[in-house]
Structure formats: structure tokens, C-alpha cells
Amino acid sequence: MIDIFLYNVIIFLSTAYNIYKIMTLKSRYISLITVFLALIVYNITLLYTFAKFDINFYVKVVSTVLNIPILIFSLIGVIGNYQQCVRWVLSISVLLAIVSICYYIVLKFDLISKFDSAEKVQAFLSKYGAYAGIIFIAVQFLQVTIIPLPAAITTLAGVALFGFWPTFFYSVIGTMIGSMLAFYLGRKFGVKLIIWLFGKNSYDKYVKFTQGKDKIVLTLMFFFPFFPDDLLCIVAGITDMKYWQFFIIMLITRPLNILILEGALKGFAAIPLTGYGIPIWIAIIAIALIAVVLAFKYSNKLEKALISLFDKISSKIKKKDKIELKEIYSQSKSCYDKKNIIK
């Protein structure tokens, strides 16, 4: 669900950016009023949700107690004119309001239980008959951008319904479009959000710290199914990565990731989430995290090695092309021989 909330917060904060850019007394009061309104929406929605559904007692307590620190920090930030404090409190309060509304919608329509297995997704797609392929592409697109649905579930349903290769092509189309959109959202709104929350200096330090390392690390992370693809695309948009660079990374990783996922689905499905399966899953995730950390640490060496490899491949291709051109030229010289000229 976090990607839905993140998109809404990004859109809200980007539109409010100019209003809160300079924290005058008026803008501080507007911020304080916005915080109070967001908390009112949050509490009303939660009370209605608690009354309608059976919610855990500790969830109720924590949700209610959250109001206290938000109100305290909001007042401190407004009175002391602490810009970053006000912005953080404003962001958190709006985020909580959106989370509470989405949480109610999920419980109201029982959305989790309707799409929590490949069989249910397959049953949903099969209703559309000849248009099932188009719907599946749309589902894969939404899975990357809006719907917090695991790729393993949708892919497994697609394989069962369409077969291996049709699912592969449908998934590539949907995920590529969704990835580019998520990258655009990160580039368009994510940078403004980071600067708004952390300041321009912090953002510049972040870009400098990740420069030259983001491509290798993100490429590796896209190969593993444990990392949220939608958030990774947004993070890529926040870096200084170019659109064409991200497109190439997606063109390489997405098809391979889908092929690996389709091939490994049976293996992953055989590992239970309880009992002996827990340490296995912990080991798999730990290996993935170690690989990402090592990639970040040695990214410069990896990048140089890849560039060297590409240079060797390109030089061999060029050398081969030159040899072929020489052979063609040597064969074509005969047509210019005086003996072959027709008088």
C-alpha cells in the first residue's frame, strides 16, 4: 500500500511547495490548519473503521497515541519557525490521513483477500475472455505503479492462463511502461519532495554520494524479487540518471527478471513461509542484501570492468566488420580489372 500513499503525498506536497517555500507567519498558520484538518480526517476515519471492523487493540492504541507527538511538534515548529520541523509534521499528518482512508477502503471492499493468490487473479482475468491479455498488461502496469500486488502472484496467474511466452511478452510490455511512468514521477515530483523535506544541501550531498554507484546498485536490485520495483523506479528518478540510461537498464533487467521469476516460481512456491522455510527465506534475502551492499561498495570497479568488457566486445565486432569489408572489397576489385571491361 505504501506506493499509493507515496504518490498521493508527492502530488500534494509538490503542489504545496510554493506555498510553504518561505515560512512566513501566514504560511505557518496555513501549515498548522492543514495539520489539524489532516488529523481530523485521520481520527474520524479511524473511529469509523474501528466501529465497523474488528481491529487489534494495540493497533487502536498506537493509532490514537500518534496524535500527541504530531500536535506537539506542529506547535513547536510553528511557534519557533522551524521550517523542516513544520514540513515533516505536515507530511506525516497528511500521510496518516491518506493511509487511514486507504486502509478503510481495503477493509470495506476486502481487496486483499480478492487478489491474495494466483488462482484468484487467474479467475479475475479469465472473466474478460479475448481481452484478458490486455487486462493482464494493465494489471502488470498497475502492479509497478499503483497496486501493491506482488509480481510473483500476477506472473504465476499469467503463466497458468496464457502460458510461458505470452505471459513473458505481456509482462514486459506492462512493466516497461509502468517503470518509465514511475521513473517520471520520481523525477517530476520526487526531487521536489526530497528538497522540500530535507533541504537542497542534503539533496546535493545525496546525489554526490550516489553518483556513479546508482546504476550498478539499482540494476542489481531490479534482478531480485524482494525489492519493491515501484519504489526503486521512483528512487532512480531522484538520482541524476538520464531517461535513456534508465530505459536501457529496464530493457535489460525487466525481461531477465520476468524469465527468472517465471522459471523460479515453482521453486519459490515450494519454500513454505513457516517452519523450516523461515531460515531459508532469511538466507535468500540476506544474500540479496549482501550482494547489493558489495555492489555499492565496489561499484566503481564493477563499472570499469563492464566498460572494459563492452569495449572488448565492440572492438571485436569492429575488427570483424573490417575483415568482412576487406574481403568484399578484394572480391569487387575484379570488376575494375581492364581485362573485365567490356569493349
| Segment 66-113, tens digit of pLDDT | 999 998 988 888 888 888 888 889 989 998 999 999 889 888 888 777
Do residues 15 and 69 share a domain?
yes
pLDDT value for 2:
46
What DSSP string describes 258-302?
A: HHHHHHHHHHHHTS-SSTTHHHHHHHHHHHHHHHHHHHHHTHHHH
* Domain-embedded: residue 280: no
With a CB cutoff of 8 Å and minimum separation 6, the contacts of 281 are 271, 273
**Does this model's pTM top 0.75?**
no
What confidence tens digit (pLDDT) does each residue in 19-64 have?
A: 444 467 778 888 889 999 999 999 999 999 999 998 888 989 999 9
pLDDT for 314: 60
Residues 51 and 33 in one domain: yes
Q: What is the C-alpha separation between 310 and 338, in angstroms, rounded?
A: 45
In whole angstroms, what is the distance from residue 303 CA to residue 296 CA?
Answer: 11
Tell me how many degrees the CA angle 195-223-144 measures, rounded to the nearest 5: 60
Q: Given a cut of 90, is residue 123 above it in pLDDT?
A: no
Q: Is residue 278 part of a domain?
A: no
Q: Which whole number is the average pLDDT over 240-263? A: 83
Domain end, chosen from 88, 109, 130, is at 109
Residues 104 and 123 in one domain: no
Q: Domain total for the chain?
A: 3
Residues 46 and 63: beta-carbon distance below 8 Å:
yes
- For position 78, what pLDDT does the model report? 83
51 and 132 assigned to the same domain = no
- Compare 149 and 327 and report the one with higher pLDDT: 149
44, part of any domain: yes
pLDDT digits (tens, 9 = 90+) for 139-183: 888 888 777 677 777 888 888 889 888 999 999 999 999 999 989
Say which amino acid occupies 162: F
Instruction: Give the highest mean pLDDT range of 65-79, 248-262, 310-324.
Output: 65-79
User: Mean pLDDT across the chain, nearest whole number?
Assistant: 77
Residue range(s) defining the domain that contains residue 79: 2-109
Is there a single domain that holds both residue 268 and residue 123? yes
Task: Give the Cα-Cα-Cα angle 42, 47, 48 (nearest 5 degrees).
Answer: 100
Query: Is the same domain home to 183 and 322?
Result: no
Which one of 93, 109, 125 terminates a domain? 109
pLDDT of residue 342: 47
**312 and 173 fall within a common domain:** no
CB 141 within 8 A of CB 174: yes
Instruction: Give yes or no: residues 24 and 97 share one domain.
Output: yes
Query: Does residue 228 carry a pLDDT above 60?
Result: yes
What confidence category does residue 273 fall into, taking pLDDT thresholds of 50, 70 and 90?
low
Task: Give percent above pLDDT 90 in the chain.
Answer: 17
The predicted pLDDT at position 324 comes to 59
**Given pLDDT bands bounded at 50, 70 and 90, which one contains residue 191?**
confident
Tell whether 139 and 264 lie within a shared domain. Answer: yes
Instruction: Specify whether 269 is located in the same domain as 309.
Output: no
Query: Between residues 141 and 114, which one has the greater pLDDT?
Result: 141
| 172, 268: one domain | yes
What is the per-residue pLDDT for 129?
A: 86
Between residues 200 and 236, the one the model is more confident about: 236
